[in-house]
Chains A and B, each alone.
Chain A
Amino acid sequence: MPPEAQGNMMSGAEMIIRALKEQGVDTIFGYPGGAVLPIYDALFKQNHIRHILVRQEGGAVHAAEGYARSTGKPGVVLVTSGPGATNAVTGLVDALMDSIPIVCITGQVPTHLIGSDAFQEADTVGITRPATKHNYLVKNVADVGRVMHEAFYVATNGRPGPVVIDMPKDIQVETGVYTGSPKTKHRSYQPQLKGDLGAIRQAVELIASARRPVFYTGGGVINSGPNASQLLREFVRMTGFPITTTLMGLGSYPASDPQWLGMLGMHGTYEANLAMHDCDVMINIGARFDDRITGRLNAFSPDSKKIHVDIDRSSINKNVHADVAIVGDAGHVLEDMIKVWKAGVHRPDKQAIADWWKQIDQWRGKDCLKYEPSKDVIMPQYALQRLHALTKHLKPYFTTEVGQHQMWAAQFIGFEEPNHWMTSGGLGTMGYGLPAAVGVQIAHPNALVIDVAGEASTMMNIQEFSTAVQHDAPIKVFILNNEYMGMVRQWQQISYEGRYSHSYSDSLPDFVKLAEAMHGVGLRCTKPDEVDGVIEEMMAIRKPVIVDCQVAKLENCFPMVPSGAAHNEILLNARDAGLERADDLALV
């Protein structure tokens, strides 16, 4: 054996730790089990990597997602074979849909037992093939280092996503020569970052000729890194055009800026949706024409020329035809767009743009997010307005669960910076927010991290509150408790004549006592005048907190573009939806 190889002789488990170190990984989220014991033993013997023990493997992936989205670094997960891997699947698909870089190492039964229905065996690569961007089954210890590094490369380059590495137990134990380095690339996967300059020139010409333009930007801008958000701001201000962002794109453009129209889509603002419908040039940067954005496709923005910038070639022309398609990274393309814009004489028609803004201001005059305030019950919108107002000076990180509270959070919390908003957009995973908040808090131990939650979603991964307690992650779970799966109930009210089939959150725990039983702190508010006090108290506590904010039970989330409707068929309030004010129905 050559002498240089001797220092590189180690077990598969040691190779995994070494590769993680070389990748600059400081934290992993995981749960031990039989098929990963050698890796856990190697973890025990080192001090570079912090392991966050979760309570269920699904929580590990969501925590890693929160870590990844708030830092821009890949999140790393370690789980055992069989149930460990299958529990992780929801998180993997969540990361796939929302383009989050995750490297998930799963234990596997020893290679000689694969296929024998061994204890805790599952066909993990088979199960996770459509749940990941890519996956590996390592069958030779000599491949461990290379596969580890390649997995990081695949997870973080191009459109980011989750990668699974299935590691049989015998491979973890066997010794071999470590190969691979953080510079390892994939031999065929070489995504294109720079956009085609001809197409970019064409796009800039179209932008300059627009009379009713709108920027429609998404998570691709955030995934490209903070620089892309800066370039977006620069370009949008240069043009003077209005901009709307998707749920995934919140924070890439400051919410306080007058050019921002708010979020678009099913629960987007009136002005954003109508601007999309009536525009003549749409500039899509890093968004993917999701059905929650477009509404009915054949009525979607009928008179516009569409520019679509996406790092994923398959997003282009998938749902909506692009007149100018640019495959590339949002940041790179924005940089080139700005260069081309500055190099030529690009002066949009001032009068036309002024008229367009006049029209937009008229739509804004509808004040589409207004709600009927109450002195007696806490309106969920009010609670979030107060939460935003009282915390914004601390630049908090927000995660959410899925449902009405998520949409209200998107509407009422103004995001000024990227990477401060973590929500399950594509998959819509209830139970995402609490473990994601743990991951964010681990990455930012001194920051204020708030999971805006519903009571039903909270119950889906409540066990991870223990994880927060164990690892001194003082997350704040702010539950807008209306005792309903509110979004389900809202759809049942609007589309199923009020037949509330199984959407009542029966037999709820006492969340204050629950928090205390788990060694956190529980707080409760039931009246509007208690909200501020409870938020202040919550912020002052350096421990995990659950706030049981008991809100109006039957409030609906508006505006709403019902499923299958066009943007200009947006419902602004209960009356539009053919309902009396929800509270008057007084069902409970």
Chain B
Amino acid sequence: MRPQLPIERHTMAVLVDNEAGVLARVIGLFSGRGYNIESLTVAEVNHAEGLSRITVVTRGTPPVIEQIKAQLERLIPVHKVSDLTVEGPAVERELALVKVAALGDPRVESLRLADAFRARVLDTTTDSFTFEITGSSEKIDAFVELMKPLGLVDVSRTGVVAIKRGAGGM
């Protein structure tokens, strides 16, 4: 038997025609071929040319990662696929809205922690805060963990967006 290959986490940027069904094609490719999606974001990035950018975070062995890239590239509306983990360095960010309902000490503590994490207060009532936090997925994970005992109500995360460092594209 071949030695077990390591499972790697890769972030890919996929530039696609912003047309009906394009996201379904990408998602269908992942589910149909048994690939993992850890995070997926999509939005139009060039209205004039009708282009959307999908950022997908996936896990797999190096041959599987290579296949995912090749399979994405052969979808007809896909213009370009960039494996930012390989072609990097790249910066990755995620945004989350985190709602905490608390009174007294926990309420004060949540605000103190938010400050330490550079989270902003987006909405407040006498018994709740909604924080906006931006950072790596790990930072958001950590913040959410800390909020749990303080009265965490809901979390809404955007998923990872990423872009290459430096002057080059993708």
Contacts and interface: CB of A to CB of B under 8 A. Distances in A.
A314 interface: yes
Given A129-B25, A130-B28, A318-B67, A187 B1 contact: no
Task: Classify chain A's interface size.
Answer: 20 to 34
B67 A188 contact: no
A129 B79 contact: no
A312 B70 CA distance: 9
Nearest to A153: B76
Interface string B82-118: 0000000000000000000000000000000000000
A567 interface: no
B20 interface: yes
Contacts of A130: 28, 32
Nearest to A126: B24
Contacts of B154: none
A125 B19 CA distance: 13
A69 interface: no
A313 B70 contact: yes
B53 to A, nearest CB: 14
B78 interface: yes
B17 A313 contact: no
A189 B21 CA distance: 17
Contacts of B74: 159, 312-314
Interface string B1-44: 11000000000000001001100110010001000000000000
Nearest to A327: B70
B70 A314 contact: yes
Nearest to B50: A187
A314 B127 CA distance: 55
A313 B74 CA distance: 8
A197 to B, nearest CB: 21
Interface string A317-337: 110010000000000000000
Contacts of B145: none
A129 B66 contact: no
A314 B69 CA distance: 8
B78 A188 contact: yes
Nearest to A297: B2
Nearest to A318: B67
Nearest to B66: A317
Q: Which of B20, B25, B71, B74 has the most CB of A within 10 A?
A: B74
B77 interface: yes
A135 B24 CA distance: 12
B73 interface: yes
A314 B2 CA distance: 22
B166 interface: no
A248 B73 CA distance: 25
A159 B21 CA distance: 22
B21 A129 contact: yes
A189 to B, nearest CB: 5
A137 B24 CA distance: 14
A314 B71 contact: yes
Contacts of A134: 76
A75 B105 CA distance: 73
A344 B59 CA distance: 45
Q: Which of A134, A189, A298, A321 has the most CB of B within 10 A?
A: A189
Interface string B37-66: 000000000000000000000000001001
Given A129-B24, A130-B28, A317-B63, A186 B76 contact: yes
A154 interface: yes
A316 interface: yes
A318 B65 CA distance: 11
A133 interface: yes
A316 B74 CA distance: 13
Contacts of A321: 63
B139 to A, nearest CB: 35
Given A129-B28, A298-B1, A313 B21 contact: no
Given A137-B21, A189-B76, A317 B1 contact: no
Contacts of B24: 126, 129
B90 to A, nearest CB: 23
Contact of A133 (B32, B70, B76): B76
Contacts of B79: 188
B28 to A, nearest CB: 6
B77 A314 contact: no
A139 B21 CA distance: 13
A134 B16 CA distance: 14
Contacts of A159: 74
Nearest to A137: B20
A151 B24 CA distance: 19
Interface in A105-161: 125-126, 129-130, 133-135, 137, 139, 154, 159
Contacts of B32: 130
B63 A298 contact: no
B73 A313 contact: yes
B70 to A, nearest CB: 4
A154 B17 CA distance: 15
Nearest to B15: A188
Contacts of A317: 63, 66-67
B162 to A, nearest CB: 21
B66 A188 contact: no
Contacts of A316: 70
Contact of B77 (A125, A188, A312, A318): A188
Contacts of B71: 314
Contacts of A298: 1-2
Nearest to B2: A298
A569 to B, nearest CB: 17
A37 to B, nearest CB: 25
Interface string A286-326: 00000000000010000000000000111011100100000
A126 B28 CA distance: 10
B76 A188 contact: yes
Contacts of B67: 314, 317-318
Nearest to A163: B76
Given A189-B77, A317-B63, A318-B70, 14 more contacts: A126-B21, A126-B24, A130-B28, A133-B76, A137-B21, A154-B76, A188-B77, A188-B79, A298-B1, A313-B73, A314-B70, A314-B73, A316-B70, A318-B67
**Can you list the 10 inter-chain pairs with the closest CB atoms, starting with the nearest?**
A314-B70, A134-B76, A188-B79, A313-B70, A189-B76, A314-B71, A130-B32, A314-B74, A130-B28, A129-B28
12 contacts: A126-B21, A130-B32, A137-B20, A137-B21, A154-B76, A186-B76, A188-B76, A188-B77, A298-B1, A313-B74, A317-B63, A321-B63
